[in-house]
Structure 1
């Protein structure tokens, strides 16, 4: 038979074991920080050696997202997206090129990373980052200290490095207006239906 002291000892071990199990099960993995409602960011993009810079303006309250894309030694493109699914990709030079489209979805929601799977921590671009994977579509890296996005990689291999991240920055309303020639498809010399630029923002994967 157990002595009272032996019984108390084993009871203590049982309680400690149960407490440790509960502590492990109660551990919560970090969750990605929702995007600010408005921000401005400069992004460096590498897609199999094809380089570009994206000047990104995100404006959720006004339902709009703007990617100004400069390919290396290439054409400057303006990729304007609205939350009603309307999208314009155009130039602002003498070529007056524009392509319009109507998508089934609008711009990314601030919490678009909800449900992403936490993969742990990794050093990226000199920052210690928490890493998440979203349905085999994107790998997202966020600075552990500041919770700012640092890097993300699409399943296609397109790699985006966040160079600046200005929370609350807003682009003037006049800059969000697509050129008049985007609305004049009847002008045959524009050839808006055959021009097929390849934007490289979040939707251009």
Structure 2
């Protein structure tokens, strides 16, 4: 009787060991940390931005296939401005009024790549703007918050010197196309008489 029990026990152990051996290793290992979703190659987002206390509402158009982006910014109780940027680091900033001053800026490496958050450090989950988000930090400067379910960007903040730029995503429309294609074009007068932006004080003096 004891011999039968011993055989049964050995057989049970063998079957359990065999069963566990067949299970995928991932069941026993720690789940992989989430990574930020790449930005779609084309989208439109309505953004609310707080830049060191200055408030802006931004109609942001991103088109990686075109190699550029367009920010149409309504500054609080101030002018509407346009910023047309390319992937070569060139940007033109100009107000909506015709023949107003234009600023030419060189900001390498250019517009954000779709995978610009690649290599970011994961910091767990946090509720932001009422959404449960995965949180990443990159190079100690960018904090990025993405909806844990939909993978849609919810919020990001930059901590450049000397202030902070905080962006909240109001709408995010993948594949959206700017119907007024002329808005992608920088006004001709910007190429005839433009100024290179040197510092923030010159920006303030321009009343942008």
Band the TM-score falls in, shorter-chain normalisation: 0.7 to 0.9
What is the CA deviation profile of residues 109-150 of structure 1, one whole-angstrom value per residue up to 9, with x for unaligned ones?
101111011100001101000100011111000011211000
Q: CA deviation at 1:166?
A: 0.5
2:178 to 150, 161, 171: 171
What is the CA deviation profile of residues 54-107 of structure 1, one whole-angstrom value per residue up to 9, with x for unaligned ones?
110000011011111111101211111011222100112145110113343221
1:147 to 148, 151, 162: 151
Q: How many residues align?
A: 189
**Is 1:183 matched with 2:191?**
yes
TM-score (norm 2): 0.78
Q: Is the 8 A contact 2:105 2:197 kept in 1?
A: no
Q: Is the 8 A contact 1:89 1:197 kept in 2?
A: no
Q: CA deviation at 1:193?
A: 4.7
**Is 1:118 matched with 2:125?**
no
Residues 1:139 and 1:194: Cα distance change in structure 2 (over 3 Å): closer
Q: What is the RMSD of the two structures over their aligned residues, measured on CA atoms?
A: 2.9
What residue is the counterpart of 1:192 in the other structure? 195
TM-score (norm 1): 0.79
Structure 1 gaps, min length 5: 186-190, 199-205
Give the number of the structure whose alpha-carbon radius of gyration is greater. 2
